[in-house]
């Protein structure tokens, strides 16, 4: 029984060792790939920043337009009551 346990452990160790040896090692991306990815990410970030700026400007314009419209309506109501 003890010999069988030892044999089983030896087989298990051999299987584990062979599976570790057979596991492919993935190489780290080379510098060119990293630079290309960085440039693409930076370009996307710049584009998104530009879109955000445009949206914030448009929101500001709409806010000013709403204020102006509200002031006109208030003035019309005030003049209408007189």
Full 3-state SS string of 53-82: HHHHHHHHHHHHHHHHHHHHHHHHHHHHHC
Q: What is the mean pLDDT of residues 29-35?
A: 86
26 — pLDDT class (breaks 50, 70, 90) = low
**Residue-averaged pLDDT of the chain:** 83
Please give the C-alpha separations between residue 18 and each of 1, 10, 21, in angstroms, as whole numbers: 26, 12, 5
Please give the C-alpha separations between residue 23 and each of 18, 28, 80, in angstroms, as whole numbers: 9, 16, 84
Q: Torsions phi, psi of 51, nearest 5? A: -65, -40
The model's pTM is: 0.54
């Amino acid at each position: 029984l003890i010999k069988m346990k030892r044999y089983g452990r030896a087989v298990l160790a051999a299987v584990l060792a062979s599976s570790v040896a057979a596991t492919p090692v993935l190489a780290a991306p080379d510098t060119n790939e990293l630079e290309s990815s960085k440039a693409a990410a930076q370009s996307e970030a710049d584009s998104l920043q530009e879109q955000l700026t445009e949206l914030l400007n448009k929101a500001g314009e709409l806010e000013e337009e709403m204020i102006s419209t509200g002031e006109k309506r208030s003035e019309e109501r005030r003049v209408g009551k007189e």
